[in-house]
Structure 1
Amino acid sequence: MDRTPAAAATAADFLDRALLEEAAKKSGLLWVRADGQQQSRALWHAWYDGAVVVVGDGGEQPLHGLTAGGAAEVTVRSKDKWGRLTGWTARVAELAPGSEGWLGAVEELKGKRLNAPDTDTIADRWARECRVLRLEPAGAEGRQLTEQPGSMPEGSLAAAPMPSPVTTRLPMPAGLPKLLLRRRGR
């Protein structure tokens, strides 16, 4: 068995890549923070050909700050515990509509898009109105992951919710507990 530092680095890279890929495949959401942005945004995605692919803008999820040639920080949660599982730096590339990579990515994404108003013609709409981006892992010095079990950042990393006019916080009506208990008794 080869115990050289190069062999150990190769094994660590392989394990990093396996964790990254498995986490991205199983999670329904990931958080992406584009370079220059203050907050991460939750995005639904698919895993295709060694990278995360997302579709957005033009009536789909907003892709604020994600530009071709840029970089982004990606964080994936654990599907069963919902906690932070892993993170990595990604290179952002925009796939050209109709290209081989775009067609493959769209096929994967179509299966993940829930409640689409135009399931039969969704690829045509995406080609006209949306951008399909590829977020390819780009680790520094051979390391793929910036976060992983056993080496997570300190602190809670909790962020305040993004401002929205639809969120309100009012006290619970006084009669609600009584109403709920009465329904349970029936």
Structure 2
Amino acid sequence: MSQTPPLDSSVDSSVDSFLDRALVEEATKKSGLIWVQGAGPARALWHVWLDGAAHLVGDGPGEQPFPGLADGSTARVSVRSKDKGGLLVAWTAVVRELTAGTEEWDAAVAELKGKRLNAPDAEQMTDRWARECRVLRLTPQGGIGALPEDSLAAQPLPTWATTRQPVPAGLPKLLLKRRGRQQR
């Protein structure tokens, strides 16, 4: 009985690398939001996947903020499942800011424009992005790492947007009245 020779480790690692890239690309394409952590806390950011990288627009009036994401830095990207919401894959990205007016910037902005919801200035949006915003390219670097053991749950970031308001004065009386009718 003959034994099969062991696989060459370089072939094995290239297959793993290919599968890692495929998983990162497919999961990131299908997810509406990615969690990106640069120097600051992780933030949920909308994006588009184009030419092997996630592209983001923000840091301008009315757009998503990018604190801690600088040109040439690295960031940790976590991608959730669109249907179940659980963590699918986490990967490290190299952050690169695209220069307005270049072919690469134009291609990214064309894709981002189609995904931008509720823009107040849809006609002039790309001009505003060129003047006031940053377009970032997050390129996967290396393979995917092991998923974290903890839940990654964190306190929400402080914001001026809130839905908490005092309970209206008449609400307790209305609730007690309903409860009384249901018991009869």
- Closer, same or farther: CA 125–155 of 1 in aligned 2, 3 Å: same
Which amino acid is the alignment partner of residue 118 of structure 2? N
Residue 166 of structure 1: how far off its partner (Å): 3.7
CA distance in structure 1 between the aligned counterparts of 2:65 and 2:152, rounded to whole angstroms: 23
Deviations 1:66-118 (A, max 9, x none): 11011100001001111111111110000000001100100110111001112
SS across alignment from 2:77: strand
Give the equivalent residue in structure 2 for 1:55: 57
Count of aligned residue pairs for this structure pair: 170
SS across alignment from 1:125: helix
Q: Is 1:5 aligned to 2:9, yes or no?
A: yes
CA distance in structure 2 between the aligned counterparts of 1:23 and 1:8, rounded to whole angstroms: 22
- Closer, same or farther: CA 176–12 of 1 in aligned 2, 3 Å: farther
Deviating above 4 A after TM superposition, structure 1's stretches of 4 or more consecutive aligned residues are 169-173, 176-179
Give the equivalent residue in structure 1 for 2:152: 157
Give the equivalent residue in structure 2 for 1:72: 75
Deviations 1:32-76 (A, max 9, x none): 010x32x20010000011100000011211011111011100001
Mark the runs of 5 or more structure 1 residues left unpaired by the alignment: none
Deviations 1:154-186 (A, max 9, x none): 12221011123443376794335977xx9xxxx
For the aligned residues, what is the CA RMSD?
A: 2.2
CA distance in structure 2 between the aligned counterparts of 1:13 and 1:156, rounded to whole angstroms: 26
CA distance in structure 1 between the aligned counterparts of 2:177 and 2:129, rounded to whole angstroms: 49
Question: In terms of Rg, which structure is larger?
Answer: 2
CA distance in structure 2 between the aligned counterparts of 1:178 and 1:102, rounded to whole angstroms: 61
Deviations 1:100-159 (A, max 9, x none): 1100100110111001112122111100110000000111xxxx2124xxxx21122210
TM-score (norm. length: structure 1) = 0.84
